[in-house]
Structure 1
Amino acid sequence: MTESDLSDLRERADKGDTSAADELIELAAENGDVKELRRLSDSGNSTATDQLIELAAENGDVKELRRLSDGGNSTATDQLIELATELGDMKELRRLADQGNSTAADQLAELGEVDE
């Protein structure tokens, strides 16, 4: 796809063409284009958000998952907890637990990282 074709697709998607948006999301996901998925996600496209979460989890992108989680996305929070656990990132788990996330608190307890 040429840059001109991509630009046209973005314009159509931005004007509400759901088929164009779906195609753009599919291309972005296939190409690992976090920037495009983030742009679409930030404009309210839930499919783009789902793809962005999936890509961030696959790439171990704690920062992107944290951004989405802090924005209220529970799926991103779940993925962030899973990734933080895999990475042994107690600081991230503690941060989430301190915000009231019981799953993160449970993970900390399971890992023996509970503050007395």
Structure 2
Amino acid sequence: MSELHYIQNGDYQIPALILEEQPPQKPLGKYGRMRKTYLKEHRTALYNNLLLTGKLTAHLQEIDEAANGRLEQMIPELAKAAGATEALKARDPMRWVGLMNNCKAQAEEIILTELINN
């Protein structure tokens, strides 16, 4: 924002806030949208600061990419610790699916705590 303009509204002059144009970016993923909702509901000052400085979209993209990368890294580690092997997948597919779902839920809970709701 380079110059501040005001709009007359009754007896008051209200600043006309105009955001700078941002280049188009890829759509937000699940974790970026979750972070945006968290910021809106629980950290309104930070949300408004990021929004007014034009850094909100970049912040949300960064969180989304970090969360997805962390999820891809954590699921194999948790699956190995839980014993969800290819042999189990061939022998008892339903148990394997249950273990993998549990691993994904654990990884997402960690991501929510560390990245989204922080």
**TM-score band, normalised by the shorter chain?**
under 0.3
Larger strand percent: 2
Q: State the TM-score, normalized to the length of structure 1.
A: 0.27
Q: Which has the higher contact order (CA 8 A, sep 6+)?
A: 2
Considering only CA atoms, is the larger Rg found in Structure 1 or Structure 2? Answer: 2
Larger helix percent: 1
